[in-house]
Structure 1
Amino acid sequence: MSFWAERKGFDQQKYQEELDKITIEKIEKGMEADGFSENVKKELLSLFEERIRQQGLGEFKMYIYNLHFMVPQEIEDEKTATKLYENNEAWFEKEISNLENELQLSYEKQSEDLEPMNVKARKAQLVIRHRFSSIILDILSNPV
């Protein structure tokens, strides 16, 4: 038995069960339920499907499981995030307003860790980080 399993209570079976809950289909349904614009949904799913082709489904599931309110690597690049925002500005602005109301914090405060980015990239990354993390938490909290 490994140190983590013995001392820290890591449960490999539970971890595998959590990973098994993560599917592209559930992510897509979560995006639809959260009101993602069709264009944003298509762009993100396309990027995730490319990750699966390159790294495999198992690696993708571990990657998604471990995001924890981080910006997905697929939109970490400022140019990619800016383009995503510019192609979907109305949706992102609506979501920024929703987040500000939900959390009672300005987007500037919510995205302080993204400050080196331009405003458009920050807004896109903030919305995707928050909404996507919420979708994954919902997937993991529901039974298979």
Structure 2
Amino acid sequence: MSLYLYVSNHFNPVEPDDVVIEKLWELESESDLEIANNYLADAIGSQYYSFLEKKVDCINLKLRRDNHYDIYYLSPNGEIAMISEDRKLPNAFIVVYNFGFVLKQFKEVIYPQLITYNLSPNQVELLKRIYLKK
């Protein structure tokens, strides 16, 4: 199953929307967080990411220092998988979007197929991390 997920994601990736990425490139300051939030909420849904607040089973954007951000995945058991560190805007928004998009694909496309295998939550989480490549 793990190999299938990895190969499937590697050779048949579903790509994020270039229009959303172009819009995010225009946002350069922390005052644009609400605009970026609206773009991402419309594109992937707010349940897959979080800006400035820890949210479990999501891609999180955390302010590191003056206009520099870390992006990480917070697992249901509290483990942090660092995705990218010390990014400036708008690049940080785009990283959140790209990984949020992949997380959404896992939850909406892959996870329903995994239910038939009666996997433990830890096994599902491991497969999710493989799919995220983190």
Quick check: TM above 0.5?
no
Larger Rg: 1
TM-score in terms of structure 1 length: 0.33
Higher strand share: 2
TM-score in terms of structure 2 length: 0.35
Higher RCO structure, 1 or 2 (CA under 8 Å, sep 6+): 1
Higher helix share: 1
